């Protein structure tokens, strides 16, 4: 008897949310901003949700002279400022007892011997069971030395079922060669399943929702291709400048700081093929395939398809804003870009010929992160004898920030005897539909580290492939001087960013 054809395929179900595995998390660079603004609030949120294991300890490792008491005091102060939910004193009292601190040098082997001893003590006293997560949140120059010292102290080893994982903050390298080199150093001490290259954009609900939206609904996938999509826009705009991070930003620029990582993840999620399963291997295989299909620009294409900008001084709402070059730690003749817009093509059967316009910048008029998919217009203006000026194309917008939601734009008939049209938006708003506590964006990622799920983390080949796309642009920009500053703070970047779309008969949705 032939098997009946199943209308639905059901994959095995997964367990509900459970606390992560017992572990000690060592945060290198714990006296820095990330720990107090994001990591501790996120771990505390997990504790409030019952998702932090009972056997847990956070051990701060940094150069700043602090003791345990002061560290705990500082975190208690900062949770009130950076916590994202109502403060729960009872949970905090228990949580703060699990925070520890040691002052150390990153390049001193003796520091790692002391670290090992402290971890053994925590494993005994706090029930962390020999599982260790090493979170690298220092300036990137220290990553190699920390990784090598962890290896030399044997802290990279996974024996008798214990885990040793390393979390690496961005930027992962500053170009292809340095990323390859860093991956080599990592691989001398750790295996890929132990490595979690973190990108906080993948912790955002709406970013994860891209996968659900695309692959848990039947109606979108059939039109998600070159036959129906006119173009795609991805905008990540920030109103802030560089906020005292001049010396870092001078080595970065928006291409490295936002596009190579955060925005390329968005691009991969929005454009990749459906994976055959939602797990770390299958999802990331598709992401790499997609990034690999992004057309690399030839040098002569760079001036036509890539625009760079740097903000100049401006007065916004009666407030004077300094130019980038006037920021602390920035060279007076800096050539670093604070804005970039790119037109990319993806050379595969799904997307050939569809432009993907990407832009990101500092000191823009709005804080806004969104992906917009513009569909082809209706083929015929059937209503041409009525009072119809022009049909608007359908537009699907996925908003990541500041409010999270999805909207679909379409034409409707205005009430009345004549056919008059109006463009309307059908809205889905996260906060109206769900009763959610605001999160820091790090909760899912930290929990995934504890459970060993690296789906939402960048794999070595993804990072390198992303650099391969960026590299030709970097090279041309490094070799040709830009006339900076070229946009006043509080505007949507240089005028050339508008020309990039106008030349194609299109326009940015804002600006
Ligand atoms: C960081 C960049 O990775 O992301 C910053 O280094 C940027 O320059 C920040 O401001 C933006 O993150 P978010 O979540 O505020 O959009």
DSSP calls for 441-508: S-HHHHHHHHHT--TTSB-HHHHHHHHHHHHHHHHHHHHS------EETTSSS-HHHHHHHHTTT---
Choose one of 258, 261, 339 to mutate for the ligand 1 pocket test, by most ligand atoms within 8 angstroms of C-beta.
Answer: 258
The residue whose two tokens read 């090992």 is: 116
Q: What is the distance in A from the centroid of ligand 1 to the CA of 307?
A: 20
Atom of ligand 1 nearest to the CA of 252: 6
pLDDT at position 243? 82
The residue whose two tokens read 């997307």 is: 351
pLDDT at position 407? 96
Is pLDDT of 189 > 90? yes
- What span, in angstroms and rounded, lies between the C-alpha atoms of 145 and 147? 5
Q: What is the distance in A from the centroid of ligand 1 to the CA of 30?
A: 19
Q: What is the distance in A from the centroid of ligand 1 to the CA of 369?
A: 11
pLDDT higher at 153 or 403: 153
Q: What is the distance in A from the centroid of ligand 1 to the CA of 264?
A: 14
Q: What is the distance in A from the centroid of ligand 1 to the CA of 206?
A: 16
Task: Give the up-direction half-sphere exposure of residue 345: CA atoms within 13 A in the CB hemisphere.
Answer: 14
**Which residues carry out catalysis?**
262
Q: What percent of the chain has pLDDT over 90?
A: 81
The residue whose two tokens read 């992401």 is: 287
- Beta bridge mates, 58: 25, 99
pLDDT at position 380? 78
pLDDT at position 510? 85
Q: Ligand 1: which residue has its CA nearest to atom 9? A: 258
- Per-residue pLDDT tens over the stretch 415-474: 988 888 889 999 999 888 887 767 888 999 999 999 999 999 999 999 999 999 999 999
- Report which of 171, 173, 170 is spatially closest to residue 182, judged by C-alpha positions: 173
With 0.85 as the threshold, say if the pTM is over it: yes
What's the chain's average pLDDT? 93
Atom of ligand 1 nearest to the CA of 400: 16
In which band, very low, low, confident or very high, does the pLDDT at 270 lie, cut at 50, 70 and 90? very high
Is pLDDT of 20 > 60? yes
- What span, in angstroms and rounded, lies between the C-alpha atoms of 351 and 344? 11
pLDDT higher at 138 or 389: 138
Q: Ligand 1: which residue has its CA nearest to atom 10? A: 238
- Beta bridge mates, 316: 319
pLDDT at position 205? 85
The residue whose two tokens read 């990279």 is: 156
Q: Which stretch of DSSP H or E encloses residue 206?
A: helix 205-215
Choose one of 257, 369, 441, 445 to mutate for the ligand 1 pocket test, by most ligand atoms within 8 angstroms of C-beta.
Answer: 257
- Per-residue pLDDT tens over the stretch 398-413: 999 898 899 999 999 8
> Nearest 5°: CA angle at 406, between 402 and 409?
120
Pocket of ligand 1 (CB under 6 A): 200, 238, 257, 369, 401
pLDDT at position 435? 78
Q: Ligand 1: which residue has its CA nearest to atom 6? A: 257
CA end-to-end span of the chain, whole Å? 63
- Per-residue pLDDT tens over the stretch 53-92: 999 999 999 999 999 999 999 999 999 999 998 899 999 9
In which band, very low, low, confident or very high, does the pLDDT at 392 lie, cut at 50, 70 and 90? confident
User: What would the mean pLDDT of 328-338 be, rounded to a whole number?
Assistant: 97
> What percent of the residues of the chain are helix, what percent strand, and what percent coil, each to the nearest 5?
35, 20, 40
Of the candidate ranges 127-131, 184-188, 364-368, 376-380, the one whose mean pLDDT is the lowest: 376-380
- Per-residue pLDDT tens over the stretch 335-387: 999 999 999 999 999 999 999 999 999 999 999 999 999 999 888 777 765 55
Choose one of 38, 197, 238, 249 to mutate for the ligand 1 pocket test, by most ligand atoms within 8 angstroms of C-beta.
Answer: 238
Q: Ligand 1: which residue has its CA nearest to atom 2? A: 257
pLDDT at position 384? 65
- What span, in angstroms and rounded, lies between the C-alpha atoms of 468 and 185? 20
Is pLDDT of 177 > 60? yes
The answer to whether the beta carbons of residues 56 and 162 sit under 8 Å apart is no
- What span, in angstroms and rounded, lies between the C-alpha atoms of 153 and 132? 13
Q: Ligand 1: which residue has its CA nearest to atom 14? A: 201
- What span, in angstroms and rounded, lies between the C-alpha atoms of 312 and 379? 44
Q: What is the distance in A from the centroid of ligand 1 to the CA of 265?
A: 14
In which band, very low, low, confident or very high, does the pLDDT at 480 lie, cut at 50, 70 and 90? very high
CATH of domain 23-169: 3.40.50.720
pLDDT at position 386? 55
- Report which of 82, 13, 16, 99 is spatially closest to residue 45, judged by C-alpha positions: 82
Atom of ligand 1 nearest to the CA of 170: 3
> Cis peptide leading into 402, omega within 30 of 0?
yes
Domain ranges of the chain: 23-169, 202-439+458-502
Homologous superfamily of domain range 202-439+458-502: Dihydrodipicolinate Reductase; domain 2 (3.30.360.10)
DSSP-based three-state secondary structure for 409: strand
């Amino acid at each position: 008897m032939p098997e009946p054809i199943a209308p639905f395929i059901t994959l095995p179900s997964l367990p509900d949310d459970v606390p992560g595995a017992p572990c000690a998390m060592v945060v290198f660079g714990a006296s820095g901003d990330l720990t107090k603004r994001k990591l501790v609030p996120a771990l505390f949120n997990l504790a409030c949700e019952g998702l932090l294991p009972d056997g847990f300890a956070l051990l701060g490792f940094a150069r700043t002279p602090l003791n345990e008491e002061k560290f705990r005091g500082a975190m208690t102060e900062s949770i009130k400022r950076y916590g994202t939910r109502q403060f729960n004193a009872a949970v905090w009292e228990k949580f703060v007892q699990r925070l520890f601190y040691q002052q150390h040098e990153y390049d001193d082997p003796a520091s790692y011997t002391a670290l090992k001893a402290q971890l053994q003590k925590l494993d005994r006293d706090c029930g962390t069971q020999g599982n260790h997560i090493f979170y690298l949140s220092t300036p990137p120059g220290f990553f190699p030395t920390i990784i090598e010292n962890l290896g030399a102290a044997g802290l990279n080893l996974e024996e008798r079922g214990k885990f040793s994982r390393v979390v690496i903050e961005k930027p992962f390298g500053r170009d292809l060669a340095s990323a390859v080199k860093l991956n080599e150093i990592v691989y001398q001490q750790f295996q890929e399943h132990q490595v979690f290259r973190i990108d906080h954009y993948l912790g955002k609900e709406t970013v994860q929702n891209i996968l659900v939206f695309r692959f848990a609904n039947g109606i979108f996938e059939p039109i998600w291709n070159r036959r129906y999509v006119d173009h795609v826009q991805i905008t990540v705009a920030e109103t802030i400048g560089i906020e005292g991070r001049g010396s870092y930003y001078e080595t970065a620029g928006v291409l490295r700081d936002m596009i190579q990582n955060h925005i390329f993840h968005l691009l991969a999620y929005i454009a990749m093929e459906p994976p055959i399963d939602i797990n770390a291997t299958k999802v990331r295989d598709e992401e790499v395939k997609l990034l690999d299909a992004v057309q690399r620009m030839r040098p002569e294409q760079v001036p036509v398809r890539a625009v760079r900008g740097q903000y100049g001084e401006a007065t916004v709402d009666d407030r004077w804003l300094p130019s980038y070059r006037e920021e602390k730690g920035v060279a007076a003749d800096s050539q670093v870009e604070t804005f970039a817009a790119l037109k990319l093509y993806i050379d595969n059967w799904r997307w050939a010929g569809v432009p993907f316009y990407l832009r990101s910048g500092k000191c823009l008029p709005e804080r806004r992160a969104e992906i917009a998919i513009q569909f082809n217009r209706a083929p015929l203006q059937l209503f041409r004898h009525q009072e119809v000026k022009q049909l608007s194309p359908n537009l699907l917008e996925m908003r990541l920030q500041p409010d999270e939601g999805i909207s679909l734009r379409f034409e409707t008939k205005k009430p009345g005897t004549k056919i008059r049209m109006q463009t309307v938006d059908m809205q889905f708003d996260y906060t109206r539909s769900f009763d959610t506590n605001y999160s820091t964006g790090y909760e899912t990622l930290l929990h995934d580290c504890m459970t060993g799920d690296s789906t939402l983390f960048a794999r070595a080949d993804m990072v390198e492939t992303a650099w391969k796309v960026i590299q030709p642009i970097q090279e041309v920009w490094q070799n040709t001087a830009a006339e900076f500053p070229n946009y006043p703070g509080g505007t949507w970047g240089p005028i050339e960013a508008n020309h990039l779309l106008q030349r194609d008969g299109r326009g940015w949705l804002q600006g």
